[in-house]
Every structure is written in C-alpha cells, then in structure tokens.
Structure 1
C-alpha cells in the first residue's frame, strides 16, 4: 500500500513541480504539525509557510481576506470547524484518487471539501477503586443517580463536546440527547472549567471520579513529567461497545477556496496520509491513524482496542447548532 501511495503522490509532484510554496493556516500547535511539514518540504522541494492560530480566528481571517487570502490549506482539530469553513464558502472540493482510497468515506466530506487526517476518540476516563467499570456500559450510563457529583467535563463552548452531542443526536435523536445532557449536568462535580487535561487532573486529585476527555490528551500526559502521575491514576473505559461505538472525531484539512497554490495544497494533504506521516502522528502525537495498517503508539495500545462510531462525520457539522441548543436547554454552561 505504501508503494501505491508514493507512486500516486510523486507522479503528482512531478506534474506540478513549478509550485514552489504552499501557505498553511493551521489550528494545530506548531510542534504538533511542523515536523511533518518540514519532511514534506525536504521530499518535494515545496516550501511551507505556516501560520498557526485558534480555529475560529483562522476561519474569520480567511473570510475577511476573501479572494485575496494567501491561504492554500486549512488544518483544523475538529470536523465542526472544517464544516463551518465549508459552509462559509472558504474551501473547495478536491478530486484525489489517493485521498479517496486512503481515507474511509465517513471520515471525509461527501463533496470532498475536507479530509480526516487523524482520529481522536473521546471515551470515559475513570479512577480505579472509586468507580466500578461494570456500571458503565454506555455514555448514557453517566446520567445514573449514583454518579451525582462525580463527573468532570469541559464547558458547552468546547467544540469537542458540541460534536459529541451532535453525534448523539444523529444516533439516538434529539429527545434522548436532551435527556442525556440534563442528566449529565445534574451529575457534574464542579462547574465546567479548563481543558481536557484539567478534567483528567481533577479526577486524579479527587475532585471527581470520572472525566470525559480525548485520548491524545491523556496519552500526552504520560510524556509530561508534571502530569504523568495524574495520567497513571486513571484508566480508559470504552462506552457503547455493544451498540453504536465510542465517539470519535478527526483532525483534518481542506484546500482553501482561493488557494493560489492549489496543486501544492493538494499534494500536501495527500502527503499527510502517507504511511510515514501517519506513523509520525501515531507515535509522536498519540492520535489514531486513518490508515488501518499503521500501528498505534504503545500508549494508545495500552488503552485497548475499541469499536468506534461509523457515523458520517459531516453530521457533526450539520447538527452543531442543534447540539448547542440542547446543551443550553440542559443548563450546560
């Protein structure tokens, strides 16, 4: 498979060798993306000009720049932002045999405006000895009265939580999702505050017994001396393994609507799903590769295998507004 991908990519590079640079707007932190971009430049001779920032700020910048935007590629950490950029007319469709072969259909836009580059899962994280894992078979089980005052999670402003609720709406409907949101809010240990790592650290510190967070945050804590003890104090539980599967999301990319270097932009996105790049994401960033035959990092392997949702991720964008509405009705601050 690797040879097939390399042939497809470098035949494309040969055809568009004139493209000398590509401008990337990335919502990913520089240290989490630059090594792959540097390798792309070394392999293709195409210079990468990188601008990093918060996803909504980058989308607003592209919108204000309009036809004069230098952006060639937008990289985001959640499908919700990619869908937002698409609906604002900031991305263009890409026809790529390599991308459609490499990336499962539910992890990319049906109209090819954006493509998943890595997977991130959002399971239940619990403190052993304080929580009986057999009492949690589904994410909905977190609304049980026995978990009152025991759950930590980020605010409703967080796109990861919005996407989690959007996925639930698509799977079980609005009524059951609202019931879940109300029950979860009733079981909060504290008003939502901080990021995913903060929820995990709160659980380890005894503020709560259960956290909901993306796996790559937990995995990264094992590599951080100041957070490693907290990471070792919790375990991962995969919910909904007997029905729809655990919630997943993506980091992904799309070609900007007015990309001045469209060919180079497409080459870069194609490069990022080659086995070498996918292996780097898996081993260094602790994210799940979109290529099934690329190994997970040892830390991710330690979290165990799991059944993931197979929902077309475009639904997470389509249902984002409804998810926010239900979270507001539930009192999720």
Structure 2
C-alpha cells in the first residue's frame, strides 16, 4: 500500500513563513479548532488553497488539509468511524466512483448544490459531485494538417492516419473514461473495433503524459494526439512549453455528433464526516461562482457551474458541444474499458 503524504504542523508553519499561501487558513490534520472542516485532497496545494482561503474569510471556518497523490481511499477505510476527514477532493470519475463502491461517502441532497451543477455531474444518489470539467480533445499539427481535417474520435482509427497518432497509455484513467463513454454510446463491438484501429495508427508505443504528446507533434513524431484541454492551457502559460503548444491546435471532437467527452474533478462528503454542517457549507461554496471561477483561472479547467465565468484563455477557444452523457454511466463501463485496452494490446 502506498503511503499517504501529509504536511506536519511544523512544516506548514515554514510554508506560511515562506509566503506560499500567505495568511491562508489551510493547515495539516489533525486540528482542534471548533469551527473547522477537514479535507483530504488529491488536488495540488496551489490549486485549492486560494479558494479555501476565500471560504475561511467568508465563513470564519478553518480548513485543514491532507494532500496526497494516492492512497486516500485506503486511509479512509483504515480510519473508519474515527476519520477526521469531512470532504474529499479528487480528479476523474473513476476515483469518485471508487469511493462509492467502497461505501466511504454519503449522499448529500442539497438544493443549492443541485441547482448549481448540471445533473450529469451528480453521482449516484448524490454521493459525489463534479466541480470542474476538462475536455478530452484532439491536438493536430498546424504545419501538416488543416484545421478540422481531424474532427472526431472516430478519426483516430482512420487508416489515413496510420503511423501518425500519439497517445499516453490506454489504461490511464483519462483514456479509460473516454473508452468507457464510447462503450456507453456505441456498444462493445464497435468500441473494440475502434480501439484496434486507434492502436494500429500509433506512431510509437504509448508513453508519457498528455503534454508529451503535444511535444511529439512539435518533434514530428506524429500529427495527431489526444489529451486533456487544461494541459494545452498550462503549456501556453509556460515559457518553455509554449513553443510546443504553438505547433499544435486544439480541436474539440464530435461537434456534429454526441459532442466532446468531458471528465471532472470532484468532491464527496465522507461517510463519517465529524463536521457535517461545515462540510456541506464548503461543498456549497465550491459550486458557487467565486470558487468556480478561481478554479478555472488557476488550472484552465471549465467550471461545472454553467453560470460561472470561465478563464479568458478558455473563452478564447470558443464554445463547443459537450457530451451530456451522465458520468455515472461512464463509470459503469470503466472496468470493461480497461479490460479492452489489454485485450487489444494497446500499450504493447
């Protein structure tokens, strides 16, 4: 089992002195303040600290955070009824569904949250909620392809692109969710055929992360790649990586079909939350326009609340049709999608 990283009280005091987060209310667990809420987070500190500080300033409720890369579900299971955690923040519908499957979270039936978030971003029985969205997009070479020449996920399997496509591992959660959505839309047989065609078009063995695929376009390794939209924003905002991104354009697939596949970052209230009222208030806050816009600005993710303002960069990419398939439906096919990746030898 992978150890869960934590921030000690002394280390966090040094962090404060280092002015990383200034006078933020975020600290390490456990804490003893009466008006508090405890968060376990897979999201990085720089992403969530700004709006947690804003929450504390608005409500007076102190937010204590444990940051981790993995292992939080296992930690919650170990802690059981004695867990100090109230809210868990994570990415990908798969991780959220894992919490449901392990019976680690509870239903939250709240009119404010439900009004702020479209139904497709509600988990089964409101046991989780999406708070930001990211599009699974296509990146295409600005030098070797015309805009719109590759416009659908189906095109990834088109024989005309043989040896011209790059991807990270097929069993990465981002790709598994996309494959699961295609199973939901098209059935297993058609999805398997598509995945085999996708594999046959790969320019190299799947490797690296989403940014590495864009770099591969710059390096003439491939002409088409698949990745999450926010990585493109991050690269444009990075002096070293901007030249990579400028060699690729972002394309939102299937605008004449079901729309572009969307995944989420999300939140859930733990089953034994000791500060349930404060947890609910925090979850409400995270769906409101202020926090939603802050998230969008910091990490180039789309607000899940349709009334929240997006970042200027994302707005410049224009509006696009999003696949409105329920992510609960996507989660249902994730296991089969992962199996299919292995069956076709996608990563080999």
Give TM-score scaled by structure 2 length. Answer: 0.87
Aligned-partner Cα distance in 2 for 1:69–1:298: 40
Q: CA deviation at 1:19?
A: 5.4
Equivalent of residue 40 in structure 1, options 39, 55, 60: 55
Unpaired runs of 5+ residues, structure 1, are: 1-17
Q: How many residues align?
A: 315
After TM superposition, the structure 1 stretch with the greater mean CA deviation from structure 2, 247-256 or 57-66, is 57-66
Question: What's the CA shift for 1:87?
Answer: 0.8
1:104 aligns with one of 91, 99, 118: 118
Compute the displacement of 1:321 (Å): 0.4
C-alpha contact 1:135 1:141 (8 A) present in aligned 2? no
Which residue of the partner structure matches residue 280 of structure 1?
Answer: 294
Q: Which has the higher contact order (CA 8 A, sep 6+)?
A: 1
Partner of 1:182: 196
Residues 1:305 and 2:323 are matched in the alignment = no
- Structure 1 range deviating more: 270-279 or 301-310: 301-310
User: Tell me, what secondary structure is at the counterpart of 1:268?
Assistant: helix
Matched ranges for 1:198-209 at <5 A: 198-209=212-223
Contact 1:85 1:91 in 2 (8 A): yes
RMSD: 1.4
Deviations 1:161-198 (A, max 9, x none): 11011111111111111111111111111111111111
Task: Using the TM superposition, give the Cα deviation of residue 67 of structure 1 relative to its aligned residue in structure 2, in angstroms.
Answer: 1.9
Deviations 1:88-141 (A, max 9, x none): 001100121100101001111140100110111011111112123443232111
Matches of 1:51 and 1:153 in 2, distance apart? 32
What is the distance in 2 between the residues matched to 1:67 and 1:204?
Answer: 51
TM-score, scaled to structure 1: 0.91
- Other structure's SS at 2:85 match: coil
> Is 1:256–2:270 an aligned residue pair?
yes
Whether the 8 Å contact between 1:119 and 1:290 is mirrored in structure 2 is yes
Are positions 1:148 and 2:140 aligned together? no
Q: Which residue of 1 aligns with 2:106?
A: 92
Q: 1:240: how far off?
A: 1.0
CA distance in 2, matches of 1:324, 1:21: 39
